[in-house]
Structure 1
Amino acid sequence: MMRSIGMLNVDDGGEGGLPVVFVHASAGNTMHWSAQLAHLRRTRRAVALDLRGHGRSALPPDGQFRVEDFARDVGTVVDGLGLQRFVLVGHSLGGAVSVAYAGAHPDRVAGLFLLDPASDGRLIPEEQARGLMAVLATEAWSAVVEEAWSPMLAPSRPEVRERVLSEMRATSQAGVRGGLGALLDFDPVAPLRAYPGPRLSVVTALNEEPGSYHRLVPELPHAKVEGTGHWVQLDAPDVVNTLLDGFLATVR
């Protein structure tokens, strides 16, 4: 069931069990989790939200797009739905957002499942980061994002590539720029180490670099999925569902 909580759009359904809350990537939306929502709602409550400036959610009146601001969106939704304890699942930017929320509210998060989470943007050279943000403020922004995402979509099926890029173009420029820019100064290490609960990072071949979360925090458990692009849940929904089922079986 779609509903609005403040300025945020939420897809809420299912009942029973420990709830699972899904957080999408930059230029994503709740629909990226359709296969996982349908799968989990057979036995438990599952919720997905559109982050500020994404999907059907409004742009923030204050124009703020830090990772911590996105994490407050998660807080607004779980508080609005009355969810006291839940599992967080985050993809890419949503992984960073989930890490930020879990580090700040470890008592609320029963488990943290990261799907090809964003790497540490602080490792991008400052001049390159400034150049990216400058061009994302121009009319060429969508072409620049498409070019940057091409390697991450190369292993994907054509229909997945077209879907991801068309949804990116349909997302507000401010939302895309804000989501990508938020990662440039976010420290994922401190909140990852602050969260003591069950964790799993599922990565692709694209996520094996010095800034990858499981490289920065070697004690973070991780599993590797082969043969997919960055949008794993669209390329291989059944694989993600199986990994998620296995992780949920360890969470109490």
Structure 2
Amino acid sequence: MQTLGKNKSTPKHRERNVRKTETTQPVHQLLGPVGTLHIDDGGKGKTPIVFVHSFGGSIEHWRNQLDHVRKNYRAIALDFRGHGQSERPRELKYAPQDLAQDIAAVVDVLQLDRFILVAHSMGGHAAVAYASQHPARVAALLLSGTPGKTPAEISEQVTTALESPAYQKVMDDYMHQLLTESRPEVAEAVTKDFKAIPKDETISIIKGLFAFDPLPRLEKYKGPLLLVVSGAESKQPGTLQSQLPTADFKVIDHAGHWTQLDQPEAFNRILDGFLADH
């Protein structure tokens, strides 16, 4: 297994360099808004499912889910700009609204008129940004471990610390919090993925997440919504679930922030139920 690691002027996207993976699933490279995007596309069947990963993640964070759902569905996963095998942008454009353009590029090139969107953490903010702009195209939305709006005082404190010599300690503490209940092999792989992201990109991504408020954007999306959180996160005030108490949500115990990696069978059962309903 690899490391667990339309705006007013819509850019032209072109598909390139199609090849096969070891699992014989087709993998595409296509030109996105700011560079080449890496995509894993396979399976066939009902409404397509698009998977988007978290900060520091990649397509491989969804491998268990891709293999599972492709028995009955076409499933597509992408590496966001600067992640996995996708190209790093020349400018630090990592706000959720920017990442939503990566989603738009993929679904436009693949001509997906309507699809189910499954997202984790940072990818959840990008998915919300996309769904608020194109609500008719998102048949259903599943958000796992997605943060809510970060209070301004916390945002300022963390940003200041990240831009100081304390950067590494802040990141180590952050990862420890996210991975406390993770399986050792998951914690090791995810930590390796995070260390591959340069400091300037890390700070840019975190600033983008802090500045993003998903709640008013979700008001523009009226479709089915399910939130998934770990047991520990279900008790924390900063999650989207805590700020959106009327939303349907599921809890996965004995897992860290990456529930789909720590408890893939439990996550897949929740995913199966969600897909069956929509």
- Identity in percent: 40
Equivalent pair of 1:29/1:49 in contact (CA under 8 Å): yes
Q: What SS does the corresponding residue of 2:56 show, helix, strand or coil?
A: coil
Q: Which moved more, 1:214-223 or 1:170-179?
A: 170-179
Equivalent pair of 1:122/1:185 in contact (CA under 8 Å): no
Give the paired residue count. Answer: 248
1:99 paired residue number: 128
Does residue 249 (structure 1) correspond to residue 249 (structure 2)? The answer is no
Instruction: Output the CA distance in 1 between the equivalents of 2:221 and 2:107.
Output: 18
Higher relative contact order (CA 8 A, sep 6+): 1
1:183 paired residue number: 209
2:188 paired residue number: 162
Does residue 35 (structure 1) correspond to residue 61 (structure 2)? The answer is no
One-letter amino acid matched to 1:180: I
One-letter amino acid matched to 1:105: H
More strand by share: 2
The Cα of 1:122 is off from its aligned counterpart by 4.0
Structure 1: any 5+ residue segments left out of the alignment?
A: none
Equivalent pair of 1:51/1:73 in contact (CA under 8 Å): yes
Map residues 1-252 of structure 1 onto 2, 5 A cutoff: 1-6=26-31, 7-135=36-164, 141=167, 144-204=170-230, 205-251=232-278
The Cα of 1:8 is off from its aligned counterpart by 0.9
Q: What SS does the corresponding residue of 1:230 show, helix, strand or coil?
A: coil
Instruction: Output the CA distance in 2 between the equivalents of 1:176 and 1:3.
Output: 26
One-letter amino acid matched to 1:3: H
Any idea what the Cα deviations from partners look like across 1:162-209, whole Å, max 9, x if unmatched?
010011112344443332221110010011121111110011122433
Instruction: Output the CA distance in 2 between the equivalents of 1:156 and 1:73.
Output: 29
The structure number with the bigger radius of gyration is 2
One-letter amino acid matched to 1:242: R
Q: What SS does the corresponding residue of 1:107 show, helix, strand or coil?
A: helix
Instruction: Output the CA distance in 2 between the equivalents of 1:17 and 1:63.
Output: 37
Q: What SS does the corresponding residue of 1:117 show, helix, strand or coil?
A: coil
Equivalent pair of 1:16/1:44 in contact (CA under 8 Å): yes
Instruction: Output the CA distance in 2 between the equivalents of 1:142 and 1:70.
Output: 25
Q: What SS does the corresponding residue of 1:25 show, helix, strand or coil?
A: coil
Q: What SS does the corresponding residue of 1:18 show, helix, strand or coil?
A: strand
Equivalent pair of 1:192/1:217 in contact (CA under 8 Å): no
The Cα of 1:62 is off from its aligned counterpart by 3.4
Q: What SS does the corresponding residue of 2:277 show, helix, strand or coil?
A: coil
The Cα of 1:66 is off from its aligned counterpart by 1.2
Q: What SS does the corresponding residue of 1:2 show, helix, strand or coil?
A: strand
TM-score by length of 2: 0.84
Equivalent pair of 1:54/1:175 in contact (CA under 8 Å): no
Instruction: Output the CA distance in 2 between the equivalents of 1:154 and 1:39.
Output: 27
Equivalent pair of 1:122/1:183 in contact (CA under 8 Å): no
Q: What SS does the corresponding residue of 1:8 show, helix, strand or coil?
A: strand
Any idea what the Cα deviations from partners look like across 1:64-99, whole Å, max 9, x if unmatched?
111100111100111111111100111111111111
The Cα of 1:141 is off from its aligned counterpart by 4.8
Equivalent pair of 2:55/2:205 in contact (CA under 8 Å): yes
Q: Runs of 4 or more off by more than 6 Å in structure 1?
A: none
Equivalent pair of 1:11/1:30 in contact (CA under 8 Å): yes
